Amino acid sequence: SSMVIIGFTCMRVPLILALAILFDIRDQPTDDPAIRTFPLIFGINGAKLIALLLLLCSAAFEVVFLRGLGHVAASWTILAGYAFGLVLTIRAKPKRDPFYYAILVDGVMIAIPLCGWLGVVLG
């Protein structure tokens, strides 16, 4: 149904935007100043704040969606994946080991659904 599509959009778009901002932070020293990225416009801390707010919005929609489907346990376990993303966002900076962005930040897109799945299995 269209409500499911809207629900998934409300959960995933803020998540992907938040993670994209983290990659903008990584790329900030090498970006052309003419490219208007979040870190160039708002500074690194401002970009992190925007990414944190986007993650919180995504998590809130996720919790509401899962509870609406009756997956109360999953609505709690999925928050572990978002907490992982929040920690990575707070610790993001331009100079980081490539592992940080290539594995950990990209891994958030896998960690969140896995945490939700674990809650469904355990719930």
CB 47 within 8 A of CB 39: yes
pLDDT tens digits for the chain (123 residues)?
788 888 889 889 999 999 999 999 999 999 998 999 999 999 999 999 999 999 999 999 999 999 999 999 999 999 999 999 999 999 999 999 999 999 999 999 999 999 999 999 998
Question: What CATH number is associated with residue 26?
Answer: 1.20.120
Residue with tokens 């994209």: 20
Crossing angle (nearest 10°) for helices 106-122 and 38-68: 10
Domain extent at residue 102? 2-122
Total count of domains within the chain: 1
Both tokens of 81, joined, read 């994946």
CB 2 within 8 A of CB 10: no
- Going from the C-alpha of 107 to that of each of 58, 66, 89, 104, 113, the distances in angstroms are 16, 21, 13, 5, 10
CB 46 within 8 A of CB 38: yes
- pTM for the model stands at 0.93
